[in-house]
Amino acid sequence: MKNSDIIAAIDIGSARIIAALATISPTGEITLLAFAETPSKGVKKGGVTNINLAQHAIDVVLDELQVNGNCHIHSIVTSLSGVSVIGNNAEGSVSVRGSTVDEFDVRKAVAKAKDAVFEDEYRLLHILRQSFILDRQTGIDNPVGMIGDQLTARVHIIGVAKTAYYNLLQIFSHRDIDVDHVVAGGLAAVLAVSTPEERQLGVCVLDIGAGTTDISIIHNEQIKYTAVIPHGGELITSDIAFFMRCTVDVAEAIKHNIDVYSPCDSKERLEIPGLGEVARSYSKQAVANVARERCEQLIDMLMQKIHNEGVKHMFPGGFIITGGGANLTGLKQLITERTHLPARVGKVEVALPDSLRAGCRFATIMGLFQCAYEEDYTRSMTNELKAGIMGRLNTQIRSISARIMKQF
Ligand SMILES: Nc1ncnc2c1ncn2[C@@H]1O[C@H](COP(=O)(O)OP(=O)(O)OP(=O)(O)O)[C@@H](O)[C@H]1O
Ligand SMILES: [Mg+2]
């Protein structure tokens, strides 16, 4: 294996920081080489809140990854989430005056679409092409080579507030490391947990983290809607801590042991250690009700948002829930009950040479590798040309990994 084929990715969550090394074959097959994870520090709701703490946590995870992978990491692909991330659909048109559409026309139309919605205080993360319109013909995948008068590009644009973007870069600034790609966390999750059939039919992927929930709707293989809600699993934990008057750590352990959908045995009780007091006894159902109520509120808030945006009809395939919050027992059934849409849990396998880990919280890290491979997800205005798979590998993956050198 050549060193230049290795890619490093890091998912900086509010609860956990996960990093991994992998190779990607020309056909997109990901082989994991090494993995490291540590509790997150200095990051809340997807944004940096304490640079020193965040830098220390990054040091811990990257040092461990370097040891586990027996290499020195010089560049990485990373994710970004939080309310600073915004997604918008946009259209841009150019005149082609009866001639053949070429790549340059396509790029001009896409650029116009971007200019129509993009504001100066934001940094562009992704321009995701949806479709093209040539005169009156809609739904064109690739207009290059076709003849027409007016070309319109439909795109979904994801950007992030510049301050949030530069603060993310800042947590790597003390190390000799380049951040090659910053990927919207929700997008990475979509790629990791949905099948091509689901992306065609239309699904809504919810990456439920500790502090944020990333919403992404994909239909006809096109990203139609993205948004981030600044709430996640920690809200449920803090409710349990508040109502049961216990520490957050105790509440977290209790949360892993309740079911927010199926009623439990009415006689079952939980002895919950209080703050400096003797333990209190609560019926398990009462605790589950506290969590259920908050889940219902969050589901209703989500549906209201989706309804307001007019995108509810775009995901007949229902919900795929992932991220650590998707582990909450009964959540997928509760979502189905309240929304009348199917829901499934999107688990991801992390297959390392010496072990296999499976779970929802690996969705973003695995999606980051897929995004590094898929040209549509790493395309920027300076790299707008479509290329074949080998071309892609040459221009993106090889450039990403060129600086990752085996050292030991
Ligand atoms: N078994 C479980 N049952 C219920 N909740 C769980 C379980 N396991 C993990 N969680 C919840 O998952 C959340 C953490 O998920 P994850 O690791 O995806 O977050 P993150 O990526 O660090 O955060 P964010 O994406 O919001 O920045 C926590 O709120 C935790 O309580
Ligand atoms: Mg996350």
Residue 375, pLDDT score: 65
pLDDT tops 50 at residue 272: yes
pTM: 0.91
- Mean pLDDT is lowest, of 207-211, 251-255, 348-352, for 348-352
Q: Is the pLDDT of residue 342 over 80?
A: yes
Best mutation site among 207, 236, 361, 364 for ligand 1 pocket (most ligand atoms within 8 Å of CB): 361
Mutate to test the pocket of ligand 1, among 16, 249, 259, 287 (most ligand atoms within 8 A of CB): 16
Q: Is 35 within a domain?
A: no
Q: Is residue 152 part of a domain?
A: yes
Provide, rounded to the nearest whole percent, the portion of the chain with pLDDT above 70.
90
Which amino acid is located at 156 in the chain? H
* pLDDT range class, residue 381, cuts 50, 70, 90: very low
Domain count, the chain: 1
Q: Which residue has the tokens 């074949």?
A: 388
CB atoms closer than 10 angstroms to residue 125: 23
- Using the structure block, give the residue that is written with the tokens 């991330």: 85
Residue 25: inside a domain: no
The percentage of residues in the chain with a pLDDT greater than 90, rounded to a whole number, is 79
How much is the pLDDT for 378?
A: 58
- Here the tokens at position 369 are 């590798």
Cα–Cα distance for residue pair 11/325, rounded to 1 Å: 16
Structure tokens at 262: 């199926």
CA of 324 to the centre of ligand 2 (A): 8
| CATH code, 119 | 3.30.1490.110
Average pLDDT over residues 233-244: 96
- Any ligand 1 atom below 6 A from CB of 38: no
Give the span between the Cα atoms of 264 and 366, in whole angstroms. 35
pLDDT at 343: 98
Confirm whether 12 is domain-assigned: no
Alpha carbons within 13 angstroms on the beta-carbon side of residue 300 total 6
CB 20 within 8 A of CB 6: no
Its domain, for residue 120, covers 86-159
Average pLDDT over residues 184-188: 95
Strands 85-95 and 150-161, sheet pairing? antiparallel
pLDDT at 221: 93
Asked whether 210 lines ligand 1 (CB < 6 A), one says yes
Please compute the mean of the pLDDT values over residues 351-365 and round it to a whole number: 91
What residues does the ion ligand 2 have nearby, CB within 5 Å? 13, 209
SS3 53: helix
pLDDT over 50 (residue 398): no
392: pLDDT strictly greater than 70? no
Do the beta carbons of residue 341 and residue 318 sit within 8 Å?
Answer: yes
Checking if the pLDDT of 326 tops 50, the result is yes
Q: What is the pLDDT of residue 373?
A: 84
The HSE-up count of residue 377 (CA atoms within 13 Å, CB side) is 27
Which ligand has the shortest distance to the CA of 17?
Answer: 1
Mean pLDDT across 153-179:
94
* Exposure of 18 in the CB half-sphere (CA atoms within 13 A): 24
Classified as helix, coil or strand, 251 is helix
Query: Is residue 251 in some structural domain?
Result: no
Question: Taking 60 as the threshold, does the pLDDT of residue 214 lie above it?
Answer: yes
Residue 140, domain member (yes or no) = yes
With cut-offs at 50, 70 and 90, classify the pLDDT of residue 215.
very high
Q: What is the pLDDT of residue 94?
A: 97
| Helix-, strand-, coil-residue percentages of the chain, each rounded to 5 | 40, 35, 30
Quick one: which H or E segment has residue 234? helix 233-243
In this structure, is residue 113 part of a structural domain?
Answer: yes
* Whether pLDDT at 390 is above 60: no
Exposed/middle/buried for 289, CB within 10 Å: 0-12, 13-18, 19+?
A: middle
> Is 103 a domain residue?
yes
pLDDT digits (tens, 9 = 90+) for 306-323: 999 999 999 999 999 999
Q: Quote the pLDDT of residue 386.
A: 34
Question: How many whole angstroms from 360 Cα to the centroid of ligand 1?
Answer: 9
Q: In a mutational test of the pocket of ligand 1, which residue from 85, 248, 256 has the highest number of ligand atoms less than 8 Å from its CB?
A: 256
Q: Is the pLDDT of residue 56 over 90?
A: yes
1-10 residue pLDDT tens: 334 578 999 9
What mean pLDDT is reported for the chain? 89
